[in-house]
Amino acid sequence: MAELQEVQITEEKPLLPGQTPEAAKEAELAARILLDQGQTHSVETPYGSVTFTVYGTPKPKRPAIFTYHDVGLNYKSCFQPLFQFGDMQEIIQNFVRVHVDAPGMEEGAPVFPLGYQYPSLDQLADMIPCILQYLNFSTIIGIGVGAGAYVLSRYALNHPDTVEGLVLINIDPNAKGWMDWAAHKLTGLTSSVAEMILGHLFSQEELSRNSELIQKYRNIVTHAPNLENIELYWNSYNNRRDLNFERGGDITLKCPVMLVVGDQAPHEDAVVECNSKLDPTQTSFLKMADSGGQPQLTQPGKLTEAIKYFLQGMGYMASSCMTRLSRSRTASLTSAASIDGSRSRSRTLSQSSESGTLSSGPPGHTMEVSC
């Protein structure tokens, strides 16, 4: 019998007419670099142009991760520390990402002319279908902060079939009452727009400590070349309508929701109230210790871990690698379930620097998990 020889067969990709193998490799490398850096697009909507940046390529049968930033920020200053965090790479490899800049908030945006009518938050939500149609995306998982959380919630109410899940950080679903409106007007007499926005983003304790992070973001807001545009977005946020969430009513978020707020954050009470109005079998509540007003900036590791569990609960990333926290969760799952059988039906995620615990679980249980 003739001696068998091992032959290595490599996959061949068809070349374009007149294209050499070297040119094909260079084109593929350039495409990968472009995807890593993000592709920025603008699309016209009934309420003006909106800019967004896409990272990665669409994954079959998977939604896009769709982010919307808060007032005073753009998608980079709001989300870059989170999405550049090491453990987040496992998540972003599994989903295409779309980062939206509210009109006039993108880098290098020209200042709107005097008298320009900035879109309301409801109209910003109505721009989203134009983005998804442009990209030919059918469903999303939204991650929003502050005003962006409101915009994504309004969109989810209007288009529930296109939203598979929402991570809402610092959401305030309530319209400003007369007392809030009067307090806002009085504050405006003694504080600049930049200072009011910083008070919206961070707690007074954080601002008084004036850490390196606060100094950085104070500089971003105070010296923003498009501060006039930011003020228009700020005004739209302060003139928002009530989302009218009602537990057990017709107006509610029908997808899985994770509500996130930092301890002592300016919006802690609003997020707690929002949690009380949503379906407890669909809603998780995460109060993060030592995170202040912007958890995605100060605690990207803890937030990444929570988002990973949230996605796994939705049926994605089931084979995600085990971390210290998830190993502990596996070890304590049985005892936790037996202890908490009589607890509240709402799913709760809570983190504490003192106890070092994260609690999570399916609808009907609250499970304590030691880190």
Q: What is the DSSP string of 35-80?
A: HHH-EEEEEEETTEEEEEEEES-PPTT-PEEEEE--TT--HHHHHH
> Measured between alpha carbons, how far is 306 from 350 in angstroms, rounded to an integer?
10
User: What token pair was written down for 101?
Assistant: 């800049």
What is the arithmetic mean of pLDDT over 332-361? 39
pLDDT of residue 367: 29
Residue 67 sits at the vertex; the CA angle it makes with 52 and 285, to the nearest 5 degrees, is 170
Q: What is the dihedral angle through the alpha carbons of 158, 159, 163, 168, rounded to the nearest 10 degrees?
A: -10
Containing 29, the helix (H) or strand (E) segment is helix 21-37
What is the arithmetic mean of pLDDT over 96-109? 97
**Residues 52 and 74: beta-carbon distance below 8 Å:** no
Containing 268, the helix (H) or strand (E) segment is helix 268-277
Q: Residue 51's beta-bridge partner residues?
A: 42, 101
Residue found under tokens 């290595």: 8
- Phi/psi of residue 172, each to 5°? -125, 100
DSSP three-state, residue 39: strand
> Taking the model in full, what pTM does it have?
0.79
What is the arithmetic mean of pLDDT over 77-83? 96
- Phi/psi of residue 300, each to 5°? -65, -30
Q: In what order do the strands lie in the sheet with 48-55?
A: 39-45, 48-55, 97-101, 64-68, 140-145, 163-169, 257-262, 283-288, 347-350
Rg of the chain taking only CA atoms, in angstroms? 23
Q: Which of 8, 229, 263, 195 has the alpha carbon at shortest distance from 108?
A: 229
> Measured between alpha carbons, how far is 258 from 348 in angstroms, rounded to an integer?
9
Helices and strands in the chain, H and E counts: 14, 11
> Measured between alpha carbons, how far is 131 from 155 in angstroms, rounded to an integer?
12
- Kindly report which listed range (67-71, 109-113, 323-327, 335-339) carries the lowest average pLDDT score: 335-339
Mean pLDDT of the chain: 81
Could you report the per-residue pLDDT of 302-330, keeping only the tens digit for each? 999 999 999 999 999 876 654 544 444 43
DSSP 8-state symbol, 351: B
pLDDT band for position 248 (50/70/90)?
confident
Q: In 10 A of CB 73, how many CB atoms?
A: 27
pLDDT of residue 348: 47
Q: What is the dihedral angle through the alpha carbons of 216, 222, 226, 228, rounded to the nearest 10 degrees?
A: 150
Q: In 10 A of CB 268, how many CB atoms?
A: 16
Could you report the per-residue pLDDT of 152-176, keeping only the tens digit for each? 999 999 999 999 999 999 999 999 7
